Amino acid sequence: MAYFLQQLINGVTLGATYGLIAIGYTMVYGIIGMINFAHGDIYMIGAFISLVGFMLLATFGITSVPLAFFLVLVFAMFFTGVYGWTVERVAYRPLRHAPRLAPLISAIGVSIVLQNFVQLSQGARVKPLQPMIRGAYEVYNDGSFQVTISYLQIMIIVLTLALMLAFTLMIRFTSLGRAQRAAAQDMTMAALLGVNVDRTISATFVIGAMLAAVAGLMVTLYYGVIDFYIGFIVGIKAFTAAVLGGIGSLPGAMLGGMLIGLIEAFWSGYFSIEYKDVAAFSILVFVLIFRPTGLLGRPEIEKV
């Protein structure tokens, strides 16, 4: 029981970050019908920008943890957003009307470029980060096993939920959100009504990148190490989350992220930690075979 509870807490923490990244996949797919395979690397860039942010703050002598965290959050969201914007402009927009395979290949190219760029500029070795937010809260103690939730975990979960809420409200009630939904359903009609479709698509990439940056920052803090290759595995897991939830569906991305996080936590807790990645990929295969529309997705209606 205690052990189960502990895995649950770990799983929710992990799931929160997958959910944040999955939103980026699902949003871009929703609006331009393309899987942005470079999104995992945008997340990796977000993690590295966070690391750079912390190092900069250390050289400036800013040691207040909440202040440093806040500044890095803003810093990482901004610059990762710039990366997201640039990737769309350079790699996808010129191919907007090309056959579907072309942007896919372009995405893989972007992914390789970003990985090599970070590998060259930051080095191939694993980068450590000093733990900043220490301490934990004891949830439960049955004498032999102690269930804790660390302050960092609480922060990750709370921040993620707050962001997801803000994001959901944005999509539902703001004019940008309406423009995004309109463009996702019928780009031509949206343009006829005065939506600047190019700008809306840019905004979608920027928002997705910003959410991935938050995930990157939090995972950096959580695991304390990053390298240029983390975007690949995490990217595929978040992609799996988006597919599991139903690609194109925002609640689906959040739900899928949570499920993948939980499955991974329980798998590594009860079976074997070495094979934890296999769990996520097996799910991807099973979902694609048996329920390609995912849990909350709707059947694909061919666009006319």
Partner 1 sequence: MLKIRGLRSGYGRIEALHGIDLDVPEGEIVSLIGANGAGKSTLLMTVCGNPRATAGEILFNGRDITQLPTHEIARAGLAHAPEGRRIFSRMSVGENLQTGAIVADPKFYNEDLERVLVLFPRLKERLHQRGGTLSGGEQQMLAIARALMSRPRLLLLDEPSLGLAPLVTKQLFTNIAEINKADGMTILLVEQNAFQALKLATTAHIIVNGRIELSGTGAALLKDPAVREAYLEGAGPKLEAGS
Between the alpha carbon of residue 289 and those of residues 242, 243, 244, the distances in Å are 15, 11, 11
If the CB atoms of residues 108 and 170 are measured against partner 1, the closer one turns out to be 170
* In the complex, least distance from residue 298 CB atom to partner 1, rounded to whole angstroms: 9
* In the complex, least distance from residue 30 CB atom to partner 1, rounded to whole angstroms: 11
Q: According to the binding rule CB under 8 A, does residue 96 interact with partner 1? A: no
If the CB atoms of residues 1 and 301 are measured against partner 1, the closer one turns out to be 301
* In the complex, least distance from residue 184 CB atom to partner 1, rounded to whole angstroms: 9
* In the complex, least distance from residue 90 CB atom to partner 1, rounded to whole angstroms: 21
If the CB atoms of residues 133 and 197 are measured against partner 1, the closer one turns out to be 197
* In the complex, least distance from residue 116 CB atom to partner 1, rounded to whole angstroms: 36
If the CB atoms of residues 64 and 196 are measured against partner 1, the closer one turns out to be 196
Between the alpha carbon of residue 173 and those of residues 24, 72, 107, 165, 198, the distances in Å are 19, 29, 31, 12, 21
* In the complex, least distance from residue 255 CB atom to partner 1, rounded to whole angstroms: 18
List the structure tokens of 239. 């992609």
Residues in binding contact with partner 1, number by CB under 8 A: 17
Q: What is the x/- site pattern for partner 1, positions 156-175, by CB under 8 A?
A: -------------------x
Q: Name the segment binding partner 1 (CB under 8 A); options: 52-60, 115-123, 179-187, 239-247.
A: 179-187
* In the complex, least distance from residue 304 CB atom to partner 1, rounded to whole angstroms: 8
Nearest 5°: CA angle at 138, between 136 and 143? 135
* In the complex, least distance from residue 87 CB atom to partner 1, rounded to whole angstroms: 23
C-alpha to C-alpha distance for 106 and 207, rounded to whole angstroms: 20
List the structure tokens of 208. 């997705």
Q: Name the segment binding partner 1 (CB under 8 A); options: 39-47, 61-69, 182-190, 275-283.
A: 182-190
Looking only at residues 183 through 222 of this chain, which bind partner 1 when binding is defined by CB under 8 A? 185-186, 188-197
Q: Name the segment binding partner 1 (CB under 8 A); options: 83-91, 148-156, 176-184, 280-288.
A: 176-184
Among 14, 32, 68, 182, binds partner 1 (CB under 8 A): 182
Among 89, 93, 178, 276, binds partner 1 (CB under 8 A): 178
Q: According to the binding rule CB under 8 A, does residue 179 interact with partner 1? A: yes
Binding site for partner 1 (CB under 8 A): 175, 178-179, 181-182, 185-186, 188-197
